[in-house]
Amino acid sequence: MFKNLKAFLKSRLFLINLAIAIVFLIVFFSCIGFFLAKYTRHGEFITLQNLSNKRLSDVESVLKSEELNYIIIDSVYVENSIPGLVVNQNPYPGAHVKRGRNIYLYITATLPPLVEMPDLADKSLRQAKNLLDNAGLKTGRVQMVPAPLLGFVLSQTYKDRPIPPGTKIPKGSVINLQIGGSNVDDTIQ
Protein backbone atom coordinates (compact mmCIF):
# COMPACT_ATOMS: atom_id res chain seq x y z
CA MET A 1 0.00 0.00 0.00
CA PHE A 2 2.86 2.41 0.85
CA LYS A 3 4.53 1.52 -2.45
CA ASN A 4 1.40 2.56 -4.31
CA LEU A 5 1.26 5.82 -2.36
CA LYS A 6 4.93 6.58 -3.07
CA ALA A 7 4.39 5.80 -6.72
CA PHE A 8 1.31 8.04 -6.87
CA LEU A 9 3.12 10.94 -5.17
CA LYS A 10 5.89 10.71 -7.76
CA SER A 11 3.49 10.37 -10.70
CA ARG A 12 3.12 13.06 -13.30
CA LEU A 13 -0.68 13.33 -12.72
CA PHE A 14 -0.21 14.16 -9.01
CA LEU A 15 2.51 16.75 -9.71
CA ILE A 16 0.37 18.49 -12.35
CA ASN A 17 -2.62 18.61 -9.99
CA LEU A 18 -0.41 19.88 -7.16
CA ALA A 19 1.00 22.64 -9.40
CA ILE A 20 -2.52 23.65 -10.50
CA ALA A 21 -3.68 23.76 -6.85
CA ILE A 22 -0.70 25.91 -5.83
CA VAL A 23 -1.24 28.33 -8.75
CA PHE A 24 -4.97 28.49 -7.93
CA LEU A 25 -4.26 29.28 -4.24
CA ILE A 26 -1.73 31.97 -5.16
CA VAL A 27 -4.19 33.63 -7.57
CA PHE A 28 -7.07 33.25 -5.08
CA PHE A 29 -5.20 34.84 -2.15
CA SER A 30 -3.75 37.57 -4.38
CA CYS A 31 -7.27 38.51 -5.53
CA ILE A 32 -8.56 38.46 -1.94
CA GLY A 33 -5.66 40.69 -0.84
CA PHE A 34 -6.26 43.10 -3.72
CA PHE A 35 -10.00 43.41 -3.05
CA LEU A 36 -9.52 43.73 0.73
CA ALA A 37 -6.95 46.50 0.21
CA LYS A 38 -9.44 48.37 -2.01
CA TYR A 39 -12.39 47.73 0.31
CA THR A 40 -10.56 48.77 3.49
CA ARG A 41 -8.69 51.63 1.75
CA HIS A 42 -5.39 50.23 3.00
CA GLY A 43 -2.80 52.96 3.49
CA GLU A 44 -5.34 55.81 3.26
CA PHE A 45 -5.90 57.62 6.54
CA ILE A 46 -6.61 60.95 8.17
CA THR A 47 -4.70 62.23 11.19
CA LEU A 48 -7.35 63.07 13.78
CA GLN A 49 -7.28 66.60 15.17
CA ASN A 50 -7.51 67.52 18.84
CA LEU A 51 -11.19 68.30 19.33
CA SER A 52 -10.98 69.16 23.05
CA ASN A 53 -12.35 72.53 24.18
CA LYS A 54 -14.16 73.07 20.88
CA ARG A 55 -17.89 73.64 20.57
CA LEU A 56 -19.91 70.73 19.24
CA SER A 57 -21.08 72.80 16.24
CA ASP A 58 -17.45 73.52 15.25
CA VAL A 59 -16.46 69.88 15.76
CA GLU A 60 -19.38 68.75 13.62
CA SER A 61 -18.25 70.87 10.66
CA VAL A 62 -14.60 69.75 11.05
CA LEU A 63 -15.54 66.06 11.14
CA LYS A 64 -18.01 66.44 8.27
CA SER A 65 -15.33 68.04 6.07
CA GLU A 66 -13.05 65.04 6.78
CA GLU A 67 -15.90 62.58 6.12
CA LEU A 68 -15.92 61.35 9.72
CA ASN A 69 -18.96 60.64 11.91
CA TYR A 70 -19.34 61.41 15.58
CA ILE A 71 -21.30 59.83 18.40
CA ILE A 72 -21.77 61.52 21.76
CA ILE A 73 -21.03 58.88 24.38
CA ASP A 74 -21.64 60.90 27.52
CA SER A 75 -22.01 64.38 28.87
CA VAL A 76 -20.31 65.44 32.07
CA TYR A 77 -21.12 68.41 34.24
CA VAL A 78 -18.18 70.75 34.63
CA GLU A 79 -18.95 73.73 36.84
CA ASN A 80 -18.39 77.15 35.21
CA SER A 81 -17.80 75.56 31.81
CA ILE A 82 -19.50 76.43 28.55
CA PRO A 83 -22.12 73.76 27.76
CA GLY A 84 -21.49 71.65 24.66
CA LEU A 85 -17.67 71.68 24.71
CA VAL A 86 -15.80 68.51 23.86
CA VAL A 87 -13.84 67.33 26.91
CA ASN A 88 -12.56 63.98 25.60
CA GLN A 89 -12.49 61.96 22.40
CA ASN A 90 -11.84 58.41 21.26
CA PRO A 91 -9.69 57.77 19.21
CA TYR A 92 -7.18 60.16 20.69
CA PRO A 93 -5.80 63.25 18.87
CA GLY A 94 -3.15 62.35 16.30
CA ALA A 95 -4.57 58.86 15.69
CA HIS A 96 -4.74 57.64 12.10
CA VAL A 97 -8.36 56.94 11.10
CA LYS A 98 -10.12 56.13 7.85
CA ARG A 99 -12.94 58.09 6.25
CA GLY A 100 -16.36 57.07 7.53
CA ARG A 101 -15.04 56.17 10.99
CA ASN A 102 -17.05 56.99 14.12
CA ILE A 103 -15.39 59.38 16.57
CA TYR A 104 -16.72 59.04 20.11
CA LEU A 105 -17.08 62.30 22.04
CA TYR A 106 -17.59 63.27 25.66
CA ILE A 107 -19.04 66.77 26.05
CA THR A 108 -19.92 69.16 28.85
CA ALA A 109 -23.56 68.94 29.90
CA THR A 110 -25.93 71.74 29.06
CA LEU A 111 -27.73 71.37 32.41
CA PRO A 112 -26.30 70.40 35.79
CA PRO A 113 -27.45 67.04 37.12
CA LEU A 114 -30.08 66.99 39.85
CA VAL A 115 -28.98 66.03 43.35
CA GLU A 116 -30.99 65.28 46.47
CA MET A 117 -31.17 67.91 49.18
CA PRO A 118 -29.72 66.39 52.37
CA ASP A 119 -31.47 66.68 55.73
CA LEU A 120 -29.52 69.32 57.65
CA ALA A 121 -31.94 69.85 60.55
CA ASP A 122 -30.31 69.48 63.97
CA LYS A 123 -26.83 69.09 62.43
CA SER A 124 -23.91 71.25 63.49
CA LEU A 125 -22.81 73.93 61.05
CA ARG A 126 -19.68 71.95 60.26
CA GLN A 127 -21.68 68.78 59.57
CA ALA A 128 -24.15 70.72 57.43
CA LYS A 129 -21.38 72.25 55.31
CA ASN A 130 -19.82 68.80 54.80
CA LEU A 131 -23.17 67.28 53.81
CA LEU A 132 -23.81 70.10 51.33
CA ASP A 133 -20.32 69.76 49.89
CA ASN A 134 -20.67 65.97 49.53
CA ALA A 135 -24.00 66.45 47.73
CA GLY A 136 -22.41 68.93 45.30
CA LEU A 137 -24.21 71.92 46.78
CA LYS A 138 -22.78 75.20 48.09
CA THR A 139 -23.23 76.83 51.45
CA GLY A 140 -24.68 80.31 51.08
CA ARG A 141 -25.65 82.74 53.83
CA VAL A 142 -25.46 81.39 57.36
CA GLN A 143 -27.74 83.43 59.59
CA MET A 144 -27.89 83.08 63.37
CA VAL A 145 -31.32 83.24 65.02
CA PRO A 146 -32.20 82.95 68.71
CA ALA A 147 -32.59 79.31 69.70
CA PRO A 148 -31.83 77.09 72.68
CA LEU A 149 -29.46 74.87 70.62
CA LEU A 150 -26.48 77.02 69.70
CA GLY A 151 -24.63 76.21 66.45
CA PHE A 152 -27.18 73.73 65.05
CA VAL A 153 -29.14 74.10 61.80
CA LEU A 154 -32.74 75.18 62.30
CA SER A 155 -33.79 75.60 58.66
CA GLN A 156 -32.46 75.38 55.11
CA THR A 157 -33.58 77.53 52.17
CA TYR A 158 -33.03 77.50 48.42
CA LYS A 159 -33.82 80.68 46.49
CA ASP A 160 -35.25 82.13 49.73
CA ARG A 161 -37.78 79.30 50.11
CA PRO A 162 -37.67 76.43 52.58
CA ILE A 163 -36.47 73.27 50.90
CA PRO A 164 -37.41 69.89 52.33
CA PRO A 165 -34.85 67.07 52.46
CA GLY A 166 -34.96 64.74 49.45
CA THR A 167 -35.99 67.47 47.00
CA LYS A 168 -34.11 67.28 43.68
CA ILE A 169 -32.22 70.49 42.86
CA PRO A 170 -29.46 71.35 40.36
CA LYS A 171 -25.93 70.47 41.43
CA GLY A 172 -23.98 73.57 42.51
CA SER A 173 -27.07 75.31 43.94
CA VAL A 174 -26.57 77.66 46.89
CA ILE A 175 -28.29 76.71 50.15
CA ASN A 176 -28.80 79.31 52.89
CA LEU A 177 -28.88 78.15 56.50
CA GLN A 178 -30.33 79.43 59.74
CA ILE A 179 -28.55 78.21 62.85
CA GLY A 180 -29.22 78.65 66.51
CA GLY A 181 -27.30 81.49 68.09
CA SER A 182 -27.40 83.98 70.91
CA ASN A 183 -27.39 87.19 68.83
CA VAL A 184 -30.22 87.97 66.45
CA ASP A 185 -29.39 88.69 62.78
CA ASP A 186 -25.70 87.79 62.94
CA THR A 187 -24.56 86.50 59.60
CA ILE A 188 -21.60 84.15 59.17
CA GLN A 189 -19.84 83.76 55.86
Topology match between the domains 46-108 and 114-184: yes
Among 12-21, 76-85, 92-101, whose mean pLDDT is lowest? 76-85
* Mean confidence (pLDDT) of the chain: 87
pTM for the full predicted model? 0.58
For residues 36-55, average pLDDT: 84
* Bridge pairing between strands 186-188 and 114-116: unpaired
| Reported confidence tier of residue 185, pLDDT bands at 50, 70, 90 | low
Are residues 70 and 103 in contact, defined by beta-carbon separation less than 8 angstroms?
yes
Q: How far is residue 149's CA from residue 179's CA, in Å, rounded to a whole number?
A: 9
CATH 1.10.10.10 fits 46-108, yes or no: no
Task: For residue 61, report the phi and psi dihedrals to the nearest 5 degrees.
Answer: -70, -35
Spell out the CATH class of 114-184.
Answer: alpha beta
**Does position 108 have pLDDT exceeding 60, yes or no?**
yes
Across 93-103, average pLDDT? 89
Residue 103 near residue 60, CB atoms below 8 Å: no
Report domain extents, the chain. 46-108, 114-184
